[in-house]
Structures are given as structure tokens and as C-alpha cells.
Amino acid sequence: MTTTGRKELQHPRFARQYLKVAAESDRRGGATHRDRLLAGLTGRVLEVGAGQGRNFGHYPDTVTEVVALEPEDTLRTMAEQAAASAPVRVTVVAGEAAELPGKTGEFDAAVASLVLCSVADVRRALTEIARVLRRGGELRFYEHVRSPNRWAGRLEDAITPLWSRAAGGCHPNRDTEAAIRAAGFTITDIDRFGFSPSAFLPKTLHIVGTAVRP
């Protein structure tokens, strides 16, 4: 296994567990959410935080290339294996959301799938995504977000410090929709729904949608 990611972004114990959770999540409906996330994409796509490559099999053939960024070594190794059998061309690279590969306006679309909860600086990540997108380019997002329910939201706030340390930097109390809007994107489509990725986890609020770089 090639190890090129920064040390602080390596979570091998969590990554091994996440491989199992992500597979279970897809069986429970996550695969359908991925289909919705990627439907209609065209051209060159940058996927930020590709994990083990669970999205790769869901890209439509109208996509000419996917550049899949993953900083965690264990997950990236699995993504490289998944890329070999993907229906579209996928290039897996090491890197992080705060410093995206690519020139300004290079990509037609960007995909953030269950990743903006875990980046250290979500504002910087979204600024970088906006930079590499062409004008009018799309950001497709699929994320779990803070509950609007008063008590559920407070509970998510309370557990975030411990949860983040145990779950590879995941923040269950992120208001990612607000962060996308604050970064200057225009959200053109969004669906909010409760979803549990595992039988052992409660339903939390998830969003799937599209935002456009003005």
C-alpha cells in the first residue's frame, strides 16, 4: 500500500470499520441515494473524499473522467481497486479538500459525498471546490447534517467532540447546507430526509442536492 497522505489525515482503524458500514449503508438505501446524487452528470468530474470508491459504479456514461481525491491511505487503496472495474474512467489521487488538484475552472462538476462533515475547514474546502469548477459548474452533495429539531441538534452538539475523535473527524452537527450557500453557491435542488446507515445507528437528517457555481 502506498502511503502518501498526511499523518493527521490517517485513520486506519476507523477506515477499516467504515468499509463495513458503507457497504451496509448502501444495502439499506444508500446506493439509491448515490444514483440520485450522480444522475445526469457530464464531462470531467472531481470527487472530493472518494472513500473506498462506493460512488464509482453509479456514474453515468456521460461522464468522461472522474478524478477521485482521497487522503486516507487505507480507503484510497480500496478506491484504486474499485476504479479498475468502474464503468467510467476514474483516476484516484492522494490529496485533501483544502488544496484541490486542478486549475481554476478545470472541472464541469464536483461531488462531495459524506465528506464535508469530516473536513477540518469546510469553508476552505468549498472555496477550493468553487475555484476548480467552471462557471456554471455543479456541486453535487450527499451529506448528513445537523438536525433542525432543538433537542436532537443539542444532542449532536454534545456528542460531536467525542464522535469526531472516534469517527475520523466526522462532525454530526454540521449545517452543511448553510455552509454551501455561504460559500457563494446557488442551491438549485435539495431533498432532506431521515436515514440510518446502520441498524445500530438512529436516523439522522441527510441531504442530497445540486448547487451551481455562479
Could you tell me how many residues make up the chain?
214
Q: How many CA atoms lie within 13 A of 80 on its CB side?
A: 11
**Cell numbers given for 1:** 500500500
pTM over the 0.85 mark: yes
pLDDT at 19: 84
What are the angstrom distances between the C-alpha of 206 and each of 16, 82, 163, 203? 23, 25, 17, 9
The model's pLDDT over 122-157, given as tens digits with 9 standing for 90+, comes to 999 999 999 999 999 999 999 999 999 999 999 999
Q: How far apart are CA 71 and CA 7, in angstroms?
A: 10
pLDDT at 6: 62
End-to-end CA distance of the chain: 40
The model's pLDDT over 178-201, given as tens digits with 9 standing for 90+, comes to 999 999 999 999 999 999 999 888
Per-residue pLDDT for the chain (214 aa), expressed as one digit of tens each? 344 446 656 566 677 777 888 899 999 999 999 999 999 999 999 999 999 999 999 999 999 999 999 999 999 999 999 999 999 999 999 998 999 998 999 999 999 999 999 999 999 999 999 999 999 999 999 999 999 999 999 999 999 999 888 787 889 999 999 999 999 999 999 999 999 999 888 899 999 999 999 8
Q: How far apart are CA 105 and CA 67, in angstroms?
A: 14
User: Could you give the maximum distance between any two Cα atoms of the chain, in Å?
Assistant: 45
Q: Are 134 and 104 in contact (CB under 8 A)?
A: no
Q: How far apart are CA 155 and CA 149, in angstroms?
A: 10
Mean pLDDT for the chain? Answer: 92
- Give every CB contact of residue 48 below 8 A, 6+ residues apart in sequence: 69, 97, 100, 110, 111, 112, 115, 125, 129
